[in-house]
């Protein structure tokens, strides 16, 4: 549709919407959503492929169209002679049934369990599990959001879990449902740092140890200078705040909860409680080897990504959270 025609149609639609009841607007909303499920997957990814315009095997920009396979355009590289399509070497390569990926992405936006998602999409549990982790692979461990303004930070711990592994290493007994362990005991736990600013940018790196240097490595680069850093009393944050010329608000447990009515760590602690309740509750505990995937999913969910954005993130588009 040409821009001029679009503007005149948009005016008509806007006028019509004004005179509708909320229920009628809901019908319109549902019709738009129904149209959305019709997005042809290859049309969604093609612009990303075109913007890179290179062979996924050798990065050469010299390639040509090479017929179609299953309705999907193939290409052949002039340099390495290998063939590929627009999903080769992405986490979505060689996954079948792409016509229901949009529906599956919608299930992810709703944070459905495997069983629920499998039922909605008419796929088996094994496929639902494979898709979940392929959809999250590209964003797992990516923590490149820049935090600024008022930044809240805290760490939390989850029980180390080998859920799903039939043979456990190091003679450990399987821990039931990845439950929370007392924060004071550090054995058998995984530490995660969570930091959020008030524009909802978020990072959630897994720390290899709960030490000052690990906190510093995983947080310092993400903080814009001259921000306000709100943390608990841990010394690690004092150093970082100094280094980044941040005003540091230390909310020492039990003594001060809020400073000047705006400085607190309640948003980050709320997010931590929400994450723990989700993974230990409806997800019934998650294997530690997949923890970074669940953290990526949590970030997507907190940023309220829609199914289209979830698919683009799965393809590997650089995703920044927040506004």
Q: Which stretch binds Zn ion (CB under 5 A): 72-80, 160-168, 174-182, 260-268?
A: 72-80
Residues 40-69 that bind Zn ion (CB under 5 A): 55, 57-58, 60
As measured in angstroms, the least distance from the Cβ of 88 to Zn ion is 10
Q: Which is nearer to Zn ion, 78 or 266 (CB)?
A: 78
Q: How many residues bind Zn ion (CB under 5 A)?
A: 7
- Stretch of 17-25, 77-85, 117-125, 235-243 lying at the interface with Zn ion (CB under 5 A): 77-85
CB of 66 to Zn ion, least distance (A): 12
Do 290 and 114 meet the contact criterion of CB atoms below 8 Å apart? no
- Of 191, 130, 183, whose CA–CA distance to 160 is shortest? 191
Contact segment (CB under 5 A) with Zn ion among 78-86, 136-144, 282-290, 314-322 equals 78-86
Q: Concatenated DSSP letters for 211-251?
A: SHHHHHHHHGGGBPTT-EEEE-S-HHHHHHHHHTT-EEEE-
The CB-of-4 to Zn ion minimum distance in angstroms stands at 43
Q: Minimum CB separation from Zn ion for residue 46, in Å?
A: 19
Out of 48, 80, 120, 140, point to the residue binding Zn ion (CB under 5 A).
Answer: 80
Strands 72-77 vs 150-159: parallel, antiparallel or unpaired: unpaired
Q: Which is nearer to Zn ion, 55 or 305 (CB)?
A: 55
- Closer CB to Zn ion, 62 or 226, in the complex: 62
b/e sequence 268-279, b meaning 16+ C-beta within 10 Å: bbebbeebbebb
| Residue 195 exposure: Cα atoms within 13 Å on the Cβ side | 30
Task: Report the C-alpha gap between 316 and 311 in whole angstroms.
Answer: 9
Give me the helix-helix angle, 125-137 and 291-302, nearest 10°.
70
- 3-state secondary structure (DSSP) of residue 245: coil
Taking the least distance from each CB to Zn ion, the nearer of 50 and 260 is 50
Quote the CA–CA distance of 176 and 178 in Å, as a whole number.
6
List 41, 45, 75, 77, residue binding Zn ion (CB under 5 A) = 77
Residue 192 φ/ψ, nearest 5 degrees: -125, 140
In the complex, the smallest distance separating the C-beta of residue 55 from Zn ion, rounded to whole angstroms, is 3
Closer by beta carbon to Zn ion, 58 or else 273: 58
In sequence order, which residues have a C-beta less than 8 Å from that of residue 116 and are 6 or more positions away?
107
Examine residue 213 and tell whether it contacts Zn ion (CB under 5 A): no
Please, what sign has the CA dihedral across residues 72, 78, 83, 84? negative
Give the shortest CB-75-to-Zn ion separation in angstroms.
9
CB of 65 to Zn ion, least distance (A): 15
Q: What is the DSSP letter of 310?
A: H
Asked whether the beta carbons of 154 and 269 are under 8 A apart, the reply is yes
Of 87 and 201, nearer to Zn ion (C-beta) is 87
The smaller minimum CB distance to Zn ion, of residues 59 and 221, is found at 59
CB closer to Zn ion out of 77 and 108: 77
Shortest reach from residue 12's CB to Zn ion, in Å: 49
Cβ proximity to Zn ion, 15 vs 64, nearer residue: 64
Q: Judge contact between 195 and 232, C-beta under 8 A.
A: no
Per CB under 5 A, residues contacting Zn ion are: 55, 57-58, 60, 77, 79-80
């Amino acid at each position: 549709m040409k821009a001029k025609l679009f503007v005149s149609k948009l005016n008509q639609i806007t006028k019509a919407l004004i005179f509708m009841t909320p229920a009628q607007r809901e019908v319109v909303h549902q019709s738009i959503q129904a149209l959305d499920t019709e997005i042809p997957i290859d049309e969604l990814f093609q612009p990303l492929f075109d913007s890179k315009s290179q062979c996924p095997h050798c990065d050469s920009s010299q390639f040509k169209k090479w017929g179609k396979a299953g309705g999907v355009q193939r290409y052949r590289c002039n340099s390495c002679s290998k063939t590929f399509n627009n999903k080769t070497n992405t986490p979505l390569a060689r996954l079948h049934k792409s016509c229901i990926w949009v529906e599956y992405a919608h299930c992810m936006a709703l944070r459905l369990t495997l069983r629920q998602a499998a039922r909605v999409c008419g796929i088996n549990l094994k496929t639902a599990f494979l898709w979940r982790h392929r959809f999250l692979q590209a964003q797992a461990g990516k923590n490149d959001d820049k935090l600024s303004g008022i930044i809240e930070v805290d760490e939390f711990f989850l029980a180390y879990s080998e859920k799903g592994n039939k043979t456990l290493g190091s003679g450990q007994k399987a821990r039931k449902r990845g439950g929370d362990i007392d924060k004071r005991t550090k054995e058998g736990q995984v530490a995660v740092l969570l930091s959020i600013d008030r524009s909802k940018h978020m990072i959630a790196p897994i720390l290899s140890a709960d030490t000052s240097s690990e906190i510093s490595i995983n947080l310092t680069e993400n903080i814009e200078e001259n921000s306000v850093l709100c943390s608990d009393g841990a010394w690690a944050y004092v150093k970082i705040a100094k280094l980044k010329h941040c005003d540091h608000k230390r909310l020492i447990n039990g003594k001060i909860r809020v400073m000047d009515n705006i400085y607190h760590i309640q948003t980050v602690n709320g997010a931590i409680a929400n994450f723990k309740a989700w993974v230990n509750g409806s997800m019934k505990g998650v294997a530690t080897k997949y923890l970074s995937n669940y953290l990526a999913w949590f970030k997507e969910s907190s940023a309220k990504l829609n199914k289209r954005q979830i698919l683009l993130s799965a393809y590997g588009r650089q995703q920044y959270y927040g506004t």
